[in-house]
Amino acid sequence: MVIENLQIAPLGEWLLGAGWSDGLLWQPLGITLLLVLLVGGGLGLLFALRRSSTAPGPTTSLWIGGIFGVLSLMVLSAVALCSTAETRNWLIDSAAMPMFAAMVPLLGSNWSGGALYTWVGVATGLTGVVYACGWLASILVGGPLAGTRQCGRAMVDIASDLARISARRVFALAWLAVRESLRRRVVVVFVVFVVLILFAALFIKKDSLHPGQLYIQVVLNFTVYLSMLFSLVLSALSLPADIRDRTLHTIVTKPVRKIEIVLGRVLGFIFVGTVLLGGIGLISYGFTVRSLSHTHQLTADMLHAKSLPGDRGTLLQGATSRSHEHEHEVTIDPSGEATVEVQKDHTHDLYVSDSGDKKTYTLGQPKGLLQARVPIYAKTLSFRDKTGKPKEKGINVGDEWTYRSFIEGRTAAAAIWTFEGISEDIFPEAKFPTGIPVEMTLEVFRTHKGNQEKGVSGTITLGNPKTGKRVFLRNFLAKKFATDVQMIPRSFVTAGRDGKAETIDLFRDLVSDDGRLEITLQCLEPQQYYGMAQADLYLRAADGSFAWNFLKGYLGIWLQMALVIGLGVMFSTFLSGPVALLATLFAIIVGLFSGYLVELAGGKMVGGGPFESAQRIMTGDNMVSALEPGMKTTAIKVMDEATSMMMRHFSAVVPNVAENDFVDRVACGFNVGGDLIARCLLCEMAYLLPVILLGYVCLKQREVAQ
């Protein structure tokens, strides 16, 4: 059960850069000023555009077209300069860095890492490139003055169209799209899902070690594929079909704007998709909960008594009946406390009732199978090597996947998680009476067999980073690839340095006054290793509602669906149906592998770019040997550099479909946090906005829509 990158930066940090809170603009006064400017200026512009009924004059058009043209040429130059490493560095040193430095007081330190600024940069670049292409084409066709004037007029038209969007008309067009979808029997998707769910039991492995994870993954993945397919077909084929059947002509003759047509389609299809997803979500939730729900039988005959040494009473041991391909070992101690063994990620509550001489045992519904843990992750994970020196990373034991680092046993090597923002408010005594639960999933690497019947032992130490006080908590046995829960008591007695017993209060002695707490793990067995990553140890702050988390999983699917609809409608404004379908499909596939594309574009792939790889394949060279110097190699390098440049620009605009995928988190029982959802919603809006605008511009250029 491994999920990478569970840690999500706070929304503000992600959106505006790490040091945004220092920026003057983001102080109350700055924000107020900004809002006044944006709202005031925006509304002013909006009213001005809505009230201007006539087209701009030739001089105004020429001025507007010229200004945009110059700006677009600047953008184009910047894009061109960014294409090679040397010119890019020059541009950064001579223009970007001074500008970054100048903006620091206003926007805060590290502002350039903020997603908002990146988006503004990319959107500006893209607009500049599109405008520059259009402008140059117009100049070629009609000459410099006429071309510039035409472009200026087009810009005003676009702005005017945008300002005049009518919610009523958009709603009417959206409703039309809904009716069209119904006419196309979109409800078949729902039927297909129901049929798939009916036969899902055939595909799902009954004896999985993690049934909850598997059921949720299967159900959500079914939904992902189905929703993608449905939204792809619906969005990419709708507009071309209308153009072919000349239905669109009846619409464009009405007083509607092209932007309203595009927007109406997108919103209409999203509405249909939302309703469908709602229905599918309800069914799949019911299916998951119903399929995993079970209990076991336990009778007195199934338990056998075992006398404890020293007349300490009688222990009852036994196993429950078999259900859902498993059974649980049950132990009832002399005090009557029952322990039901954890099997397949869950346990059951055991209720014992006396009816005369006979005891009746009843097991409750599974506990821990469907959950939504709310973890608090450490701010940092640091290491100490075997001599005790601080290190950024531990040892690599030869794993190809370097997500985890390892520490050697019986040495000074240690892994230290530092938590921030820990306080009694987060862990109130009423809710956490026994202490703070720490959950960890460690990897164990043995260099010798050791004692195979016993896990590799380790130790947990707690520390106050400010006072330097360190307290041994306990030893434990590592459970590889299984979640181990350790409780940190709110107060406990430990041996002090002088050997005397000392009572430690967790929040008073170990959590620093700025809310920091250190948890240190060490392996105790020589030549054995523990492996860990930052997200492998966390404090379990609360348990969210599974139903709510399941809904968030569907929200992720909804975001993916909306993205596909936006892209499909955009492509369908200028491509024929099948081509638009293929183009959207291509964009989604590229979006799914965007990480790979970024890696490829960054020239980080072992074995070089496409041309170098092809050369290596043909000559049978391995991936790391240097190519023979010569003209051929130079040519290959140049071609790879050109491809890499194209890919770099391309990778900046492909949709990151995988980002909205919450399936793993929901399946592995982790709560999908508000920050993550907000970030994905913002990304979606930031992506759909230019996509819809592009669709509108393309539709505007089509003859059919004139």
Partner 1 sequence: MSSGSMIMNPPSLSAGDRSRRRKWIYGVSMIVLIVVLFWLSFPATLSTKEFKGQPGGVLAQYRDQHGLSQTELGQIDPTSETIRLATLGMRGIAGTTLWWKATEYQMKKDWTRLRAALDQISKLQPHSILVWRYQAWNLSYNVSVSFDDYHDKFYWVIEGLNYMLDGVRMNDKEPRLCWDMGWFISNKIGRDDAAKYYRRLFSGERGTDGKEPPDYVKDFRERFTPPSGFPPGSNLRDNWHVGKAWFLTAESKIAPPRYPVRGMAQVIFYSHAPTCQFYYADNLEKDGTFGQVAQRAWQNAEDEWYAFGERPIDTSYDLALQLNRKEELFDSAEAKKDQLNKLAPGVRDELEKEKRPNLAPEDRASWDKYREALDKYKNEKKNRKGKKSEKPLLQPSVDMDLKDRAEAKPDEIARRSPQAHHQEALDLAKEIENDETLAKYTTRERSKVNFDFWRTRARAEKTAECLAARKAIHDGDQAFAKGDLIRARPEYEKGMHGWRKVLDDPEFRSLVEDICLGGDLLDVIRRYQKCLDQDDRGLPQPFILQDIIDKHSRPEDSPPDNSDKKVKSPTSAAEKK
Question: By the 8 A CB rule, do 609 and 643 touch?
Answer: yes
Site string for partner 1, 468-507 (x = CB under 8 A): ----------xxxx--------------------------
**Closest distance to partner 1 from the beta carbon of 445 (Å):** 9
Buried b / exposed e over 495-505, threshold 16 CB at 10 Å, is eeeeeeeeebe
Which one-letter amino acid corresponds to residue 334?
P
Task: Indicate whether 327 belongs to the interface with partner 1 (CB under 8 A).
Answer: yes
Beta bridge pairs of residue 305: 316
Q: Which is nearer to partner 1, 70 or 195 (CB)?
A: 195
Name which position in 179, 249, 312, 322 contacts partner 1 (CB under 8 A): 322
Q: Which is nearer to partner 1, 184 or 479 (CB)?
A: 479
Question: By the 8 A CB rule, do 543 and 668 touch?
Answer: no
Task: Indicate whether 214 belongs to the interface with partner 1 (CB under 8 A).
Answer: yes
Task: Indicate whether 315 belongs to the interface with partner 1 (CB under 8 A).
Answer: no
Sign of CA dihedral 408, 410, 413, 417: positive
Q: Could you say which residues in the range 181-210 bind partner 1, by CB under 8 A?
A: 202-203, 205, 207-210
Q: Which stretch binds partner 1 (CB under 8 A): 83-91, 400-408, 503-511, 541-549?
A: 400-408
| Residue matched to tokens 């960890």 | 440
Task: Indicate whether 586 belongs to the interface with partner 1 (CB under 8 A).
Answer: no
Length of the chain counted residue by residue: 706
Helix pair angle (211-244, 258-292), 10° resolution: 150
Q: Which is nearer to partner 1, 207 or 337 (CB)?
A: 207
Task: Indicate whether 453 belongs to the interface with partner 1 (CB under 8 A).
Answer: yes
Beta bridge pairs of residue 326: 323
Q: Could you say which residues in the range 672-701 bind partner 1, by CB under 8 A?
A: none
**Closest distance to partner 1 from the beta carbon of 173 (Å):** 34
Q: Which residues contact 100 (CB under 8 A, 6 or more apart)?
A: 111, 112
Name which position in 213, 382, 534, 644 contacts partner 1 (CB under 8 A): 213
Quick one: which H or E segment has residue 362? strand 358-367
Closest to 655 measured CA to CA, from 570, 579, 567: 567
Q: Which is nearer to partner 1, 279 or 450 (CB)?
A: 450
Name which position in 366, 455, 458, 544 contacts partner 1 (CB under 8 A): 455
Alpha carbon 3 to its chain's center: 11
Task: Indicate whether 302 belongs to the interface with partner 1 (CB under 8 A).
Answer: no
Task: Indicate whether 527 belongs to the interface with partner 1 (CB under 8 A).
Answer: no
**Closest distance to partner 1 from the beta carbon of 94 (Å):** 42
* SS3 state of residue 226: helix
Task: Indicate whether 587 belongs to the interface with partner 1 (CB under 8 A).
Answer: no
**Closest distance to partner 1 from the beta carbon of 576 (Å):** 22
Q: Which stretch binds partner 1 (CB under 8 A): 43-51, 103-111, 183-191, 395-403?
A: 395-403
Task: Indicate whether 100 belongs to the interface with partner 1 (CB under 8 A).
Answer: no
Task: Indicate whether 625 belongs to the interface with partner 1 (CB under 8 A).
Answer: no
Alpha carbon 329 to its chain's center: 38
Name which position in 325, 349, 429, 505 contacts partner 1 (CB under 8 A): 325
Name which position in 192, 319, 614, 627 contacts partner 1 (CB under 8 A): 319
Task: Indicate whether 443 belongs to the interface with partner 1 (CB under 8 A).
Answer: yes
How many chain residues are in contact with partner 1, going by CB under 8 A? 35
Query: Long-range contacts for 572-578 (Cβ within 8 Å, ≥24 apart)?
Result: 572/235, 572/236, 572/237, 572/238, 572/239, 572/240, 573/239, 573/262, 573/695, 573/696, 573/698, 573/699, 573/702, 574/698, 574/699, 574/701, 574/702, 575/240, 576/240, 577/236, 577/237, 577/240, 577/241, 577/244
CA distance 130 to 478: 58
**Closest distance to partner 1 from the beta carbon of 218 (Å):** 8
Instruction: Return the number of other C-beta atoms located less than 10 Å from residue 678's C-beta.
Output: 14
Question: By the 8 A CB rule, do 361 and 300 touch?
Answer: yes
**Closest distance to partner 1 from the beta carbon of 327 (Å):** 7
Q: Which is nearer to partner 1, 205 or 470 (CB)?
A: 205
Distances in whole angstroms, Cα of residue 293 to Cα of each of 289, 347, 370, 405, 482 = 6, 12, 10, 38, 22
Name which position in 401, 431, 501, 625 contacts partner 1 (CB under 8 A): 401
Closest to 116 measured CA to CA, from 105, 107, 129, 128: 107
Q: Which is nearer to partner 1, 49 or 229 (CB)?
A: 229
**Closest distance to partner 1 from the beta carbon of 494 (Å):** 29
**Closest distance to partner 1 from the beta carbon of 591 (Å):** 16
**Closest distance to partner 1 from the beta carbon of 480 (Å):** 4
Task: Indicate whether 449 belongs to the interface with partner 1 (CB under 8 A).
Answer: yes
CA distance 195 to 37: 55
Q: Which is nearer to partner 1, 322 or 389 (CB)?
A: 322
Task: Indicate whether 2 belongs to the interface with partner 1 (CB under 8 A).
Answer: yes
CA distance 658 to 656: 6
Residues lying near partner 1 in the complex (CB under 8 A):
1-2, 4, 202-203, 205, 207-210, 213-214, 217-218, 319, 322, 325-327, 329, 400-401, 403, 443-444, 446, 449, 452-453, 455-456, 478-481
